Amino acid sequence: MTEIESNEAAIRNRLATVEDRLLQVEKRLNMPPAAYSHKTRSQAFAN
């Protein structure tokens, strides 16, 4: 395995870990991923 391939594998592994942790948080909050909106912070608090 070359260094580039090793680095890519490490990044993919870290991404998978982040995805797993995010899923755990979503389950704790009981919020499905579709419930999120992509508003900016200023749009979210503009009311």
Q: Specify the pLDDT at position 41.
A: 52
Q: What is the largest CA-CA distance in the chain?
A: 53
In tens, the pLDDT along 1-47 reads: 799 999 999 999 999 999 999 999 988 888 666 555 555 555 555 64
Assess contact for 6 and 13: CB atoms under 8 A.
no
What pLDDT shows up at residue 28?
A: 86
What is the number of structural domains in the chain?
1
Does the predicted model carry a pTM greater than 0.75? no
- Determine the pLDDT at residue 40: 52
Q: What is the pLDDT of residue 43?
A: 54
Please give the residue range of the domain that contains residue 24: 3-44
- Rounded CA-CA distance 16/5 in Å is 16
pLDDT of residue 44: 53
